[in-house]
Structure 1
Amino acid sequence: MNNIFRYLFAFTCWLLFIPLGQAQTTSDLATKYANAKQLITAKKFSLAMAELQPVIAANQATYSPGAMYLYAVAATQNQKYAEANQKLTLLKNAYPDWANKADALFLEATVAFEQKDYDRALTLTESIESKDLADEVTAMKYHYLSQLTEKATWQNLVSRHENDKMLGQWYADKLVGGWYTAADKGTLEALIKKFKLDKNKYLPENQENLKKTSFNVAVLFPFPQNEAEIKARKNQFVTDLYGGMLLAQDSLAKQQIQLNLFTYDAPADTNKVKATLQLPEMHNMDLIVGPVYKSASKIISRFAQQNSINSINPLSDDLYLVKNNLHLYLFESSITTRAKQSAAYAIQNFPLKTALIIAENKEEDTTFANAYKREFERLGGKITQYKKFNPKTTSGATLLANVDLKALGHILLLSNTPSVAVFTLSNLAQTEATTPLITYPSWLNVNQISLSQFNNREIYFIYPKFIDNTQPGPQQFRRKYATRFNVPPTVYAYSGFEMLYYFGQVLQKYGSRFNGGLQNEGPVSGVLFQGIGYAGAQDNQYVPLIKMQDLQLTVVNPIFR
């Protein structure tokens, strides 16, 4: 949950209206309450709960209801959902007219979702009357319901919450995306009528138009606009990306899957992107690839949502870009997914369930580290220490000082700084420690380190773009790309091919409304990359981990289909 500070802010604003004299007569309670808020901000949730107990027990109208609420916030963060529910129920019964009861209902719904009590959670969201929370309620429903993949559960929820338009349209999308059977005809027609959905897109007799062998794909990239820009190799990554897509188009055509690619210039200027999306032909697209710049994320999100057209971001690893919109996907795995999958591998494969986390203080590294810590602890592991450092002021030689490596389960070291890699490998060699180390693949390119220093050691690289050049797929692609474009392929060319080839097959299998079908698609081996699969998520859920064995980079968590 990311609502702690909103919870604290909401109640702090309410406290501003407490009469001064009343606050002075309850100074002890006020002190404990203030301490608890600071503890929650510092994520010391158990201590905050203990601090709030006497404030709740005082049954004092000024502070007790807020204390009950904040206790529930802390308990929820500690995954003590029964305690959170108990305090929220007490709050409702003891102070039914509390000024912030909408926030309490929101929190109670969050707890219900966390407990997978979807029916109760939706009932609670329906009782939240505050318009200020409308966007947050919608975001919460998207977050939790997107994890729900059982058709029977969806059927039950739709029947019990028949006036929930978001739920009804979402289920209709799932039906036409792959769940539809003849038995669903009455349900789908009722949803179309009740929520005024587009009959041309949702009626069963029109679904054959969505499952076809020829699809229109809009490509919104910042293409070079003149000969001078081409010669200057401006945005060369776009040229490479699109080159890979063209080869995928050829390969799919040999499988009787016809993709018609329509290119549009989509620079960082959002006005131009907006103008492109307003073109009449955009409404006839089966898929949109791009835009690639973050500045256009809100524009494409709105268009995809309003027109029920899926869009793929081919390059970003920022999960925020697809938040709250099931028509948006990342081709890449997100930073959060990479962290979670790496933590799951460590739990499953390393004997000792303890870890030391060392991360540079860059946003990408700390985001990864925080997600790793949460997942590793959720799975039962223990983080013995979490260090953040600035490589400009902290020497890599000191990072493992005073660390008993032989007693440690493994190390997660998140740094692309070459000197950090050099000092870390030197330290491991000097201590003769066999402690597993998980890190970035950039270490493989550090000139001061020979590949033999990685060989047959417990060093694992988080390597989403790993390509095994000994395999026939990459070898054939390189030959075809070089023949057609007279240059060797870059990683962008590989990405362009793999992305379009995968989603071209998805389009053939499920049609343009492939959202429901994609939920059940587990990871499969790629033609070039090691794998891709979504399994109900909106970013690639497969993250290859690599280690050096007999001087060959080897995938330790391969896909066998």
Structure 2
Amino acid sequence: MRYFYTLILTFLFSFNALAQGGKTEVEKYTYGKQLIDQGKYQPAIVVLQDMMTLKGVTLQPYAYTLIGYAYYQEGNFIEAQNNLNKAITDYADWDEKEQAKYLLGCSYLKAKKYDESLMTVNGITDKKLRQELNTMIFQELEELSIEELKPICEANTENEDIATLLFDKILQQPKEERDQELLTKLSVHLGIEINKHVVKKSEKKDKYTVAVVLPFFTETTDGNALRVKNEFVYNIYQGILIGQEYLAKRDVNIDIIAYDTKRDTTHLSALLEDPKMMNVDLIIGPLYADMLPIVKKFSNETGIPMVNPISSNSAVIEDASNAFITSSTPETIGKSLGKRLRAEELATLEQFPEGDSLRIQADTVQTYVVFGHSTKEKQMAAAFKEAYEAEGGKIAAYQEFDPVDGFNVVQEMFQPLAYDDSLEVVKDSTAHVFISVVNEVEALSTVSALLSLGTVASAYVPQEWLKYNQLSYSQMETAQINILYPNWFDDDSFRAKTFIAEYQEKFNNQPSGFVYNGFETMFAFGMILNDYGNGFVQKLRSSDEFRKGYLTPAYNYKNAQDNQYVPIIQFIDGDLKNKTPLEEAVN
């Protein structure tokens, strides 16, 4: 929605729009816009509706769109749709109705009217808006069950992406549970062989070929040139090229072929038909969800492994046995913490004999979980709960953050952890608290409620907390907050300082996080190619080894396609330190 707000509301307040109206009309329109900027949606609706009763008004389609936006923000999607449809249908010659269509599609999507949202996106001619909405639609569709997806597929028979999504979901079921008739029908419709998910036979080479499939949007892929447009993609590519140099110093030779997807599915499909692609040993990319099904299908059919350098979304690796991500999914983060905390509790129990009062007391540890509203926050919390309880851990409270009265609700939930003035002790000093919240306001409310009680419970939080402006590092250190940080590395280490110095000398700039992402992806998977050959998938997923990156402490893909090693870091004397270091790791 941030994308729409920036694109639409800034435009609606443009000179061209206001120039069409009279002074009173412009004043009311401007005031309504200001109210929306302040989040005062109902007053804004009243002002804008009043504006449209004036004689000779000319800003009706703009006003209807703003009103639709206001209703959208309030969650009143029916009224949002009514007003946006008015802007689109009653003012057919309005030049700016593409933005209203985009918001209408968003509104249908929020209301789970998938057929309507798909019909709307098909009517958008603006390429960027259409891609943005289409990506959001498919992110929602990916979360649906097979039974929920079936009628959508039937209503949109010409949409091969939906058919492919349904096909892959069915294929991932146990054979005895599959709707074989539907699977065969989809197979014929899509031209996909049901059993054609190839696992490549491994071959060791003197030189490996890596295809970098990224949206460069340019005719050149010169990693040494600074590109302001799509700069983050060039940062990733710069990191990949530096990784290639570091591997060469270890006699691991990599030949890189860069392909510009242009974020165009037709263009990408044509790229994958390049005969050179059949000789590729690894694909790095793509980055965007609308490109993903095409490359996943190619990877499944050829057995060529693919890796995403920046994503933590499990959708990247779902239904693609040869796909990997270098980060950890929200599920893995939650599961890792749940297993680790319970293992520590069980290790403490082993220090006391059976029946000992101290052992009984130690076995009363409980954990409190607060989570936010996004899919990621809920996935982390649910995975933590499942893993923790599976080993006998006890959850005292499991609470979604209340957007209306969050501070008081969580403060009441944390009461058993409060300092008791009469006894001069903390009621429960052994508890854990997992705050699976990434929204800054909600996170600060939660930790404030916790600390206001004088608790000494151990708190665990996502890495996003390091970006908060209103929570200083010294405050986090004082509160002893533990941060779950996949792919963290010590930037004060000799390797990191050397890398940074070399990058600064070469590019006269500080390396961004995307540079590190590209570099670590190339280095880590280059070493995997060197150790296992180009058919490394099964060997990597069956290995217990924790493999060192160049900067990243470790990678582990045991029975997984995302990194199973999730460091827990904490501020100690002003510096971030890894509380979960590995004593032994290969590479």
Q: Could you say which TM-score interval applies, normalised by the shorter chain?
A: 0.5 to 0.7
Aligned with 1:239 (options 234, 237, 247): 234
Q: C-alpha displacement at 1:441, in angstroms?
A: 2.6
Q: C-alpha displacement at 1:550, in angstroms?
A: 3.0
Three-state SS of the structure 1 residue aligned to 2:452 is helix
Contact residue 367 and residue 433 of structure 2 kept, 8 A: yes
Counterpart of 1:370 in structure 2 is 382
Counterpart of 2:121 in structure 1 is none
Q: C-alpha displacement at 1:276, in angstroms?
A: 0.7
Matched, 1:401 2:418: no
Contact residue 406 and residue 442 of structure 2 kept, 8 A: yes
Counterpart of 1:218 in structure 2 is 211
CA separation of 1:129/1:397 partners in 2, compared to 1, >3 Å: closer, same or farther?
closer
User: Aligned partners of 1:273, 1:130: CA distance in 2, in Å?
Assistant: 31
Contact residue 357 and residue 413 of structure 1 kept, 8 A: yes
Counterpart of 2:492 in structure 1 is 470
Deviates more, 1:257-266 or 1:422-431: 422-431
User: Aligned partners of 1:329, 1:302: CA distance in 2, in Å?
Assistant: 14
CA separation of 1:394/1:260 partners in 2, compared to 1, >3 Å: closer, same or farther?
farther
Matched, 1:440 2:469: no
Three-state SS of the structure 2 residue aligned to 1:259 is strand
Aligned with 2:262 (options 260, 267, 272): 267
Three-state SS of the structure 2 residue aligned to 1:559 is coil
Contact residue 327 and residue 487 of structure 2 kept, 8 A: no
Deviates more, 1:414-423 or 1:293-302: 414-423
User: Aligned partners of 1:513, 1:486: CA distance in 2, in Å?
Assistant: 38
Task: Return the letter of the residue paired with 1:383.
Answer: I
Give the length in aligned residue pairs.
Answer: 377
1:1-400 paired onto structure 2 within 5 Å: 130-132=180-182, 173=199, 176-177=201-202, 210-225=203-218, 233-350=228-345, 352-389=364-401, 391=403, 393-396=404-407, 398-400=409-411
Q: C-alpha displacement at 1:231, in angstroms?
A: 7.1
Aligned with 1:487 (options 496, 505, 509): 509
Task: Return the letter of the residue paired with 1:409.
Answer: A
Task: Return the letter of the residue paired with 1:474.
Answer: A
Three-state SS of the structure 2 residue aligned to 1:525 is coil
CA separation of 1:514/1:402 partners in 2, compared to 1, >3 Å: closer, same or farther?
closer
CA separation of 1:273/1:394 partners in 2, compared to 1, >3 Å: closer, same or farther?
farther
Contact residue 440 and residue 465 of structure 2 kept, 8 A: yes
Three-state SS of the structure 1 residue aligned to 2:310 is coil
Contact residue 217 and residue 262 of structure 2 kept, 8 A: no
CA separation of 1:135/1:519 partners in 2, compared to 1, >3 Å: closer, same or farther?
farther
Contact residue 524 and residue 548 of structure 2 kept, 8 A: no
User: Aligned partners of 1:284, 1:476: CA distance in 2, in Å?
Assistant: 34
Three-state SS of the structure 1 residue aligned to 2:291 is helix
Counterpart of 2:438 in structure 1 is 416
Deviates more, 1:456-465 or 1:361-370: 456-465
Contact residue 407 and residue 449 of structure 2 kept, 8 A: no
User: Aligned partners of 2:382, 2:407: CA distance in 1, in Å?
Assistant: 21
Matched, 1:536 2:547: no
* Gap regions ≥5 residues in structure 1: 1-108, 111-120, 137-164, 178-209
Three-state SS of the structure 2 residue aligned to 1:400 is helix
Q: C-alpha displacement at 1:422, in angstroms?
A: 3.6
Task: Return the letter of the residue paired with 1:262.
Answer: I
Three-state SS of the structure 2 residue aligned to 1:476 is helix
Higher RCO structure (Cα 8 Å, ≥6 apart): 1
Task: Return the letter of the residue paired with 1:250.
Answer: E
User: Aligned partners of 1:465, 1:341: CA distance in 2, in Å?
Assistant: 14
User: Aligned partners of 1:555, 1:384: CA distance in 2, in Å?
Assistant: 28
Three-state SS of the structure 2 residue aligned to 1:344 is helix
Q: C-alpha displacement at 1:354, in angstroms?
A: 2.3
Deviation track 1:273-316 (CA, whole Å, cap 9, x = no partner) reads: 11110111111111111111111221111111111111111122
Counterpart of 1:546 in structure 2 is 569
User: Aligned partners of 1:511, 1:342: CA distance in 2, in Å?
Assistant: 32
Task: Return the letter of the residue paired with 2:432.
Answer: H
Counterpart of 1:20 in structure 2 is none
Q: C-alpha displacement at 1:552, in angstroms?
A: 2.5
Aligned with 2:483 (options 436, 461, 465): 461
User: Aligned partners of 2:413, 2:256: CA distance in 1, in Å?
Assistant: 58
CA separation of 1:372/1:134 partners in 2, compared to 1, >3 Å: closer, same or farther?
farther
Task: Return the letter of the residue paired with 2:454.
Answer: E
* Gap regions ≥5 residues in structure 2: 1-171, 187-193, 346-361, 418-426
Contact residue 532 and residue 542 of structure 1 kept, 8 A: yes
Q: C-alpha displacement at 1:130, in angstroms?
A: 4.1
Deviates more, 1:311-320 or 1:410-419: 410-419
Task: Return the letter of the residue paired with 2:575.
Answer: Q
Deviation track 1:392-430 (CA, whole Å, cap 9, x = no partner) reads: x34445422242124372111122333344444444443
Contact residue 354 and residue 409 of structure 1 kept, 8 A: yes
Aligned with 1:527 (options 550, 553, 558): 550
CA separation of 1:253/1:357 partners in 2, compared to 1, >3 Å: closer, same or farther?
same
CA separation of 1:396/1:272 partners in 2, compared to 1, >3 Å: closer, same or farther?
farther
User: Aligned partners of 1:226, 1:516: CA distance in 2, in Å?
Assistant: 37
Three-state SS of the structure 1 residue aligned to 2:290 is helix
CA separation of 1:442/1:305 partners in 2, compared to 1, >3 Å: closer, same or farther?
closer
Task: Return the letter of the residue paired with 1:349.
Answer: E
Contact residue 456 and residue 549 of structure 1 kept, 8 A: no
Q: C-alpha displacement at 1:349, in angstroms?
A: 2.4
Task: Return the letter of the residue paired with 2:499.
Answer: F
CA separation of 1:491/1:246 partners in 2, compared to 1, >3 Å: closer, same or farther?
same
Task: Return the letter of the residue paired with 2:486.
Answer: P
Task: Return the letter of the residue paired with 2:207.
Answer: S
Contact residue 541 and residue 561 of structure 2 kept, 8 A: no
Task: Return the letter of the residue paired with 1:329.
Answer: F
TM-score by length of 2: 0.59
CA separation of 1:129/1:368 partners in 2, compared to 1, >3 Å: closer, same or farther?
closer
Three-state SS of the structure 1 residue aligned to 2:209 is strand
Task: Return the letter of the residue paired with 1:469.
Answer: D
Q: C-alpha displacement at 1:226, in angstroms?
A: 6.1
Deviation track 1:71-110 (CA, whole Å, cap 9, x = no partner) reads: xxxxxxxxxxxxxxxxxxxxxxxxxxxxxxxxxxxxxx99
Contact residue 441 and residue 463 of structure 1 kept, 8 A: yes
Q: C-alpha displacement at 1:447, in angstroms?
A: 3.3
CA separation of 1:419/1:302 partners in 2, compared to 1, >3 Å: closer, same or farther?
closer
Deviation track 1:36-87 (CA, whole Å, cap 9, x = no partner) reads: xxxxxxxxxxxxxxxxxxxxxxxxxxxxxxxxxxxxxxxxxxxxxxxxxxxx
User: Aligned partners of 1:366, 1:508: CA distance in 2, in Å?
Assistant: 38
Counterpart of 1:430 in structure 2 is 452
Q: Which runs of 4+ in 1 moved over 6 A?
A: 133-136, 229-232
**Over aligned residues, Cα RMSD in angstroms?**
3.1
Contact residue 457 and residue 548 of structure 1 kept, 8 A: no
